[in-house]
């Protein structure tokens, strides 16, 4: 779970101010854009691996969302996952499929062969 602290503002190179929230996890605190749905792990990947400026292609993100959606539903059918949690996961995955959060997938496509950042971003 993320701990949210006070918001801060940082000047960007274009002179506009961007608001951030400070989030904490097992690795410490990091500033995450205020409007981001993602958390500290994704922000670290963005900060530490700005390799190409290219993000993952939309069809790849949609494929991950399909896997997450149906994995949750199947695990609920097998009584391995609480049905309420499965419904919430499936709903969130459907919203990704409906392209409601395209701007939230910010991890560089060349992330040093570490898929963890991609999975943390989609979760």
Q: Which residue has the tokens 């991890």?
A: 107
pLDDT digits (tens, 9 = 90+) for 57-107: 999 999 999 999 999 999 999 999 999 999 999 999 999 999 999 999 999
Contact 56, 107 (CB under 8 A): yes
The 3-state secondary structure of 83-99, one letter per residue: HHHHHHHHHHHHHHHCC
Q: Rounded CA gap, 98 and 14, in Å?
A: 32
pLDDT at 1: 41
Q: Which two tokens stand for residue 72?
A: 């949750």
pLDDT higher than threshold 50 for residue 30: yes
| CA-wise closest residue to 4 among 18, 21, 20 | 21
Whether the predicted pLDDT of 110 surpasses 80:
yes
What rounded mean pLDDT belongs to the chain?
86
């Amino acid at each position: 779970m993320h701990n949210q602290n006070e918001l801060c503002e940082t000047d960007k190179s274009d002179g506009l101010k961007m608001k951030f929230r400070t989030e904490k996890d097992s690795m410490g605190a990091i500033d995450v854009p205020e409007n981001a749905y993602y958390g500290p792990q994704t922000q670290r990947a963005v900060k530490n691996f700005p390799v190409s400026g290219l993000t993952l292609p939309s069809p790849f993100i949609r494929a991950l969302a399909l896997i997450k959606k149906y994995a949750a539903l199947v695990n609920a059918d097998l009584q391995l996952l609480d049905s309420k949690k499965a419904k919430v996961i499936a709903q969130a995955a459907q919203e990704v499929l409906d392209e409601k959060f395209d701007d939230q997938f910010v991890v560089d496509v060349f992330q040093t062969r570490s898929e963890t950042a991609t999975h943390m971003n989609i979760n």
